[in-house]
Amino acid sequence: MAVFTPVDQGSLERLLREYALGDLVAFEGISSGIENTNYFVDTTEGRFVLTLFEKLSAEQLPFYLSLMHHLSQRGIPCPRPMPSRAGALLTSCQNRPSAFVTRLNGSDVRQPSPEHCEQLGSVLARAHKAVSDFTGSQPNLRGLSWWHETVPSVLPFLPEASQSLLRDELAQQQAFAESDVYTELPRGAVHADLFRDNVLFVQTDTRPLVSGIIDFYFAGVDHFVFDLAVAANDWCLSEQSAGTSAISPLHEEALLLGYERVRTLTDSERAAWPVMLRAAALRFWISRLYDWHLPRKASMLTPKDPGHFERILKARRDAKGRT
């Protein structure tokens, strides 16, 4: 959610005339994230987020917007795309495909507790069940084929030991993708980027509650257990274990408990859990290597340290498999 394409007040006011969202009151760029340009936009009718898509094409975007609409209609707390006066969910701003979505209440959590993890697990399982009748079919664009395509471009920047680790893990993931267990894993439309800064919470008198899942623009059809593993690799690092990149058993247990209260993991998903934790670490190591060594220009962009996920991958490879 960096600002790659600046938007001035006049352009935004002209864009708002295409919508029944009221008059512009205030707007500001959002500095976090690394893929799209995002602005908070306040109007006389409410609070919204404007996204200008920097990589995704107008042909790809209906999948993401339809998925958010589908989930919001089924009670999953996520942004709702706003139609223009002509009924379109997708428009254009500064020569970029663009969309307005509702801005949700709540804030992200920097140091999640096991209770946060349990709540997240439950909402994620609800989302996985909610897509049973979703007809979108776009694959995860940052999946295995993208890993194979991207690894050769980042290898020259790495020391020999890291090159060896990257090659070996990619080969093991390819072998797993050809296994019987892999073919049995349940699939559907998943978020695939459920980090702490993509989940909002509100605090009630008794417990924290998920108020929003945001930034669906890495979503795609993939395995539910991969989506869960992406979350675990970020949410289940306790403050004490973060330095070693180890999973906190208490946080992991809470995440899986919350999930299985809504949707029971299959035997194949349980068997795949250790390798999916590695797959999730590999995916973000590769993407962060790419953003670090081959960055795009943006006025508010700080690439994230790829070493974080290299350390997580090493820790997952060293850990005993969970059954």
User: pLDDT at position 320, please?
Assistant: 57
Residue 214 has pLDDT above 80, yes or no: yes
Per-residue pLDDT tens over the stretch 224-268: 999 999 999 999 997 655 566 899 999 999 999 999 999 999 999
Q: In this structure, how many other beta carbons lie within 10 angstroms of the beta carbon of residue 174?
A: 12
- DSSP single-letter state for residue 81: B
User: pLDDT at position 304, please?
Assistant: 86
Q: Which of 87, 297, 131 is nearest to 220 (CA)?
A: 131
> Taking the complete model, does pTM exceed 0.75, yes or no?
yes
3-state SS string over 198-266? HEEEEECCCCEEEEEECCCCCCEEEEHHHHHHHHHHHHCCCCCCCCCCCCCHHHHHHHHHHHHCCCCCC
> From CA 86, how far away is CA 289, in angstroms rounded?
41
User: pLDDT at position 176, please?
Assistant: 98
User: pLDDT at position 321, please?
Assistant: 45
Residue 323 has pLDDT above 50, yes or no: no
Residue 54 has pLDDT above 50, yes or no: yes
Q: Over range 131-147, report the average pLDDT.
A: 96
Beta bridge partners of 41: 27, 48
User: pLDDT at position 34, please?
Assistant: 66
User: pLDDT at position 297, please?
Assistant: 67
Q: Is the dihedral of CA 303, 304, 306, 309 positive or negative?
A: negative
DSSP string of 124-186?
A: HHHHHHHGGG-----B-TTSHHHHHHHHHHHGGGS-HHHHHHHHHHHHHHHHHHTSHHHHHS-
Helical (H) or strand (E) element with 112: none
Per-residue pLDDT tens over the stretch 13-28: 999 999 999 999 999 9
> From CA 278, how far away is CA 251, in angstroms rounded?
18
Residue 293 makes CB contacts below 8 A (sequence gap 6+) with: 154, 157
More confident residue, 227 or 30: 227
> From CA 211, how far away is CA 224, in angstroms rounded?
21
Residue 322 has pLDDT above 60, yes or no: no
Q: Is the dihedral of CA 233, 234, 238, 244 positive or negative?
A: positive
Mean pLDDT of the chain: 93
Torsion on CA atoms 51, 56, 60, 63, rounded to nearest 10: -40
